[in-house]
Structure 1
Amino acid sequence: MVTINIDALPQDLRTGATELADEIGFRIGETGLAITATPAQTLTVQLTNGQAAIGYPFRAAFFRGLNALVQAARDGADLTLDETPQFTTTGLMVDMSRNAALSLAGLKKMIRLSAKLGLNSSLLYMEDVYEVKAYPYWGYQRGRLTQSELKAADDYADALGVELIPCIQTLGHLLNPMRWPFMNQMIDMPGILLVGEDKTYEFLATILKNAMAPFRTKKIHIGMDEAHALGRGRYQDQHGPVDQTTIMLEHVNKVIALTEKMGLEPIMWSDMWFNAAGYGYGDPKTVFPAKVKDQIPKVNLMYWDYYNNSQENYEAVFRLHQQLGVPVSFATGVWTWNGLAPNYGKTMQTMKAGMTAAKNVGLDTVYATMWGDDGGETPFTAGALGIQYFAEQIYHHEAPGAAALATAFATYQQKTAATYLLLDQFDQLSELTAGNPDATNPSKVVLYEDLLHPLFAKNLAKVDLLGHYTQLAQALDAATTTPDDGDLIAFYRALAQVLATKVAVMDQTRQAYEAGDKAAMRAVLARLPELAAQYRTLQQAHRAVWFSINSPFGWEVMDVRYGGLILSCETAAWRLTQWCDGRVDQLAEPDEPQLLLGQPTASSVGRGLYADTVTVSKLSGV
């Protein structure tokens, strides 16, 4: 192992270097390699004849350079590196509000990853998962981080040159905390705050203060996206029909008055301004009315778009934002919300187009979002290759090709690109358009749908699921792993095996039933305990990954999902045994006609959240 003498480093780099030693793979010692570190306009790394030097534009860039230097020294190679960051502020946005709330340990892992890739910022998407002592039900049993934990994370990030920025909600996306009575007087529509209500602004002043308290930064992301039903509930009861743009401007101005009083630099998502103009979000034909352009307050805008493959469209929409006269930044995406595995095809297509456009237009701030829709089933660590793709576009003008990305992934994360690209195969079927542009998610559908009456059976009838998931299971069995990602890949191996077995069992069940072949059905019955055991293995593998980076709160939802799968094997066995024993002549479940859901295309066999897939009956509610 390489030994580094950090004594010669500037004081503000030593703590971070110490924290990254194990992560990057070096020892600290007085007899080790001494590095000359100098502030510079670009990132330069030189390792020649035992002499090492790093020039760096900001501290996170230094740690990227240190990472590259250590890997070269480990291999006994000289290194000359010169990279120019294409943006001023860059980072990840991790969704902590869809059940998978990062623990302090998980947050530190994300910070270390950011630093060793040279990303100098991070947005923490926290709807209600930060402590507000005035509201004890705020984030109750949701995995909220305490003020001291968030301060510890901020101290840790600062040592590594990463600015942590709270990303909260001050208008919509508040359905979870609105279950508690303390919010009753502040509700317009479910999830949306009541504009104009004094208690609303007392509440917002309190959560703003508490969201900012642990952090050094003065920046705060105040959300305000997707409040499509704004003013249509209690607000309308009180005021009658009011133009939504008027309501939005009133609210934004009130919130910005609060942030100005606190000396903060607010950022908000930009979609509601497109709604105000009467256009779809990201429509390049949008014309902003003078009312919006003249009255929008001093708040930075962030354009989220991880759906578009057109560089020209991104450029046009960025320029539209610039017409509003306030700074604009860009949020692309590492697709960790496709289902249980990342969608790398869509990640790379949309990110390349958006990041190239952002450079051409001259934006200076970009983030890669990692949302956790429908329960946070995909660990953020599964997105490691997409994160690397993002980082390489920060430090190079062109997006990397496959070979360059694989080399960078091995250098900066010591991981194998081919292994992570296998994760893309959970939802990229060979019969469908490459790149999974419609974000179809057959792996999630197959995992959760019922053994005897699968909802998506007709959608999936023309694809070779058994061959696909059998081959994927075999490939993952042979995949290269590291100590850092062994548990992660074990989870995906278990998932591929479950999918292969479940598809086989469902196919054999239908064939035996339609043929009236009870001997063949008894062979199916013999496989159901095997499938149930594989479900348990999958649950345990997933749990190990979850608890290594996330709060335990939220995992109970996954226990419900996995428990349902295990018990479905028992119920299926009981029903099939009834038929085999002649206690019933017919089974209503497989007799139910199989209907198309939506319209399958060359690029999609359908898409479903858990509730859309497991049943058409009510999961909960009156």
Structure 2
Amino acid sequence: MDLKIALSGDLPARCSDALAALAPELGMVPAAEGVPVRGHRGAALAVCCDGASVTIEWAQPIQFYRALSLLPRPLAACDIREEPCFETVGMMFDTSRNAVLRPDTLRSFLRKMALMGMNLGMMYTEDTYEVPGQPYFGYQRGRYTYEELHALDDYADMLGIELCPCVQTLGHLNRALHWPAMRRLQDNDEVLLADSEETYSFLRQILTAASAPYRSKRIHIGMDEAHGVGMGAHLRLHGYEKPYDILRRHLKRVLDIVNELGLSPMMWSDMYFRLESPTNGYYDGPMPSQQAVDAVVPGVELVYWDYYHMREAEYDEQLKKHDALHAPTVFAGGIWTWCGPAPDYDKTRTATLAGLSACRKAGVPLVFATAWGDNGAEANLYTALLGMQMFAEFTYHGSFEDEWLAQRMRVCCQADARAFWDLTLFNHMEGMRSGEFRPVNAAKMLLYQ
């Protein structure tokens, strides 16, 4: 039976609209004769109930909605206090790999994020948004309209969630650059041509279009895995230059545009490490050299992404390498949805605990989860819900126990956590061992054989 509640006191803006959206998932109904629930703006998250009335303390709107999800059912006396160990905890939605989520699907994820207490949604859109004047950008790829993104941003804001754009401004642009009309912008098949005025005119168009639907001034400008930068058309036009020099010049031009638009940028950090790695890898190089430090342009946050390591000490080491770059660093972990039709939650749990523990110790202010759809987004994104719950519960508790995760999944997702854990069994086969950087993905191999 639904719990009737009567809200009063200090409440988040648009609280009645948010509660109308969340009530069916919470099993609550706003009613004048319901249990009194009084809001109070404070320093942290607290839920106090004497069995007949409830007081909720909240510092951010998102904490008020998480607090509603913490109320015991049936209603009983409680005194719950939670203080997040990160200022911001987010979820990045990969909508660029043949799985451009419909707006209603994204709204369902945003509602679950609100109940979990996650306050940042990140829309990873390589070319899946409309850009006026660029008809081939995202053509036949399910790109979002301005109106769709603006409505999503409004919905997220109602729930206390900041929604922000995530784009690419150097690499990862194969789907856009493969059109003959765009080839003048190519350094190679994946990478934009740095130092070309046509490139920066194009980037001004996409950055303007990408940021326009959102309230947030935060933007992720990508810049990762730009393999072969300076080795294609740039080499033919200008001769050989050190990739670090090209990266720095290009980033400065991108930041000029970002600053004109009044935006606050972040970027993936791997290119600062790959150029000195013996394998072009991200994690196996030395401490950054002076030329790597000199290539960092002030005014941009670095995003350290790591979904692979299983030991906290390894994350500690990578965070120290980032400290040497003298730029603010945030962290992206991974929910292993990219290994085939079924996710790998054994790797997800171990890597998430190790990575977030290191970030908590290092004082990293912002962490977010990724759930990539590499190779065609074979795994349904809803399989990532348990991983999202892990990130949320670690943020508010500094850990996540299986029993507590299961309880929270029932409330926030109306789902059985055991069923999510069991998805991992699709990839468990006797004699097969998971490597550090690769899972066992027997389900994929068997499906396609």
* 2:36 alignment counterpart: 34
Counterpart contact for 1:230–1:244, Cα < 8 Å: yes
Identify the residue that residue 335 of structure 1 maps to in structure 2.
336
Alignment of 1:109-508 (within 5 A): 109-278=108-277, 281-283=281-283, 286-297=286-297, 298-397=299-398, 399-433=399-433, 438-449=438-449
Letter in 1 for 2:439: A
Shift in Å at residue 138 of structure 1? 1.2
Q: Please tell me whether the aligned partners of residues 191 and 227 of structure 2 are also in contact (alpha carbons under 8 angstroms).
A: no
Contact kept, 8 Å, 1:45 with 1:65, in 2: the verdict is: yes
Amino acid of the structure 2 residue aligned with 1:353: A
Residues 33-112 of structure 1 aligned to structure 2 (within 5 Å)? 33-69=35-71, 72=72, 74-112=73-111
1:189 alignment partner, SS class: coil
Structure 2 distance, partners of 1:387, 1:93, is 10
SS in structure 2 at match of 1:191? coil
Which residue of the partner structure matches residue 18 of structure 1?
20
In structure 2, how many angstroms separate the alpha carbons of the residues matched to 1:270 and 1:441?
Answer: 28
Q: How much has 1:433 moved relative to structure 2?
A: 4.3
SS of residue in 2 equivalent to 1:418 = helix
CA gap 1:287/1:431 in 2 versus in 1, 3 angstroms:
closer
Is the Cα contact below 8 Å between 2:82 and 2:397 reproduced in 1? yes
Q: Distance in 2 between matches of 1:7 and 1:18?
A: 15
After TM superposition, the score normalised by the length of structure 2 is: 0.95
SS at match of 1:124: strand
Question: Is the Cα contact below 8 Å between 1:284 and 1:317 reproduced in 2?
Answer: no
Moved over 3 A (4+): 6-9, 276-285, 430-438
Cα distance in 2 for partners of 1:430, 1:32 equals: 55
Summarize the alignment of residues 500-519 of structure 1 with structure 2, pairs less than 5 Å apart: none
User: How far apart, CA to CA, are the structure 2 residues paired with 1:437 and 1:209?
Assistant: 36
Q: Which shows bigger deviation, 440-449 or 196-205?
A: 440-449
- Contact 2:178–2:189 (CA under 8 A) maintained in structure 1: no
SS at match of 1:374: helix
How far residue 254 of structure 1 moved from its aligned partner, in angstroms, is 0.9
- In structure 1, C-alpha distance between the alignment counterparts of 2:86 and 2:66, rounded to whole Å: 15
Structure 1 residue 140 displacement after superposition = 1.4
Distance 2:253 2:436 in 1: 42
How far 1:16 moved relative to its partner?
Answer: 1.6
* Cα distance per residue 1:46-72 (max 9 Å; x no partner): 122311011112111111111112xx1
The CA distance in 2 between the partners of 1:339 and 1:105, in whole Å, is 25
**Matched residue type, 1:4:** I
CA distance in 2, matches of 1:162, 1:436: 34
Alpha-carbon shift at residue 430 of structure 1 (Å): 4.4
Q: Tell me the distance in 1 between the aligned counterparts of 2:107 and 2:192.
A: 32
What is the aligned-residue identity percentage? 37
Shift of 1:292: 2.9
**Contact 1:428–1:436 (CA under 8 A) maintained in structure 2:** no
Q: Residues 390-447 of structure 1, C-alpha deviation per residue, up to 9 Å, x if partnerless?
A: 11101012x2222232222223333212111111111122444489973121111111
- Structure with bigger helix share is 1
**Unpaired runs of 5+ in structure 2?**
none
1:435 and 1:33 mapped to 2: Cα distance?
52
The one-letter code sitting in structure 2 at the alignment partner of 1:423 is L
Shift of 1:8: 4.5
Q: Which amino acid aligns with 2:358?
A: A
How far apart are the structure 1 equivalents of 2:428 and 2:36? 47
CA contact (8 A) 1:345 1:435 kept: no
What is the CA–CA distance in structure 2 between the aligned matches of 1:176 and 1:84, rounded to whole Å? 43
The alignment partner of 1:90 has SS state of strand
Cα distance in 2 between the residues matched to 1:281 and 1:33: 57
| 1-structure distance, mates of 2:96, 2:407 | 33
Q: CA, structure 1 residues 149+293, in 2 after alignment: closer, same or farther (shift >3 Å)?
A: same
- 1:42 partner letter: A
State the TM-score, normalized to the length of structure 1. Answer: 0.69
Please tell me whether the aligned partners of residues 341 and 423 of structure 1 are also in contact (alpha carbons under 8 angstroms): yes
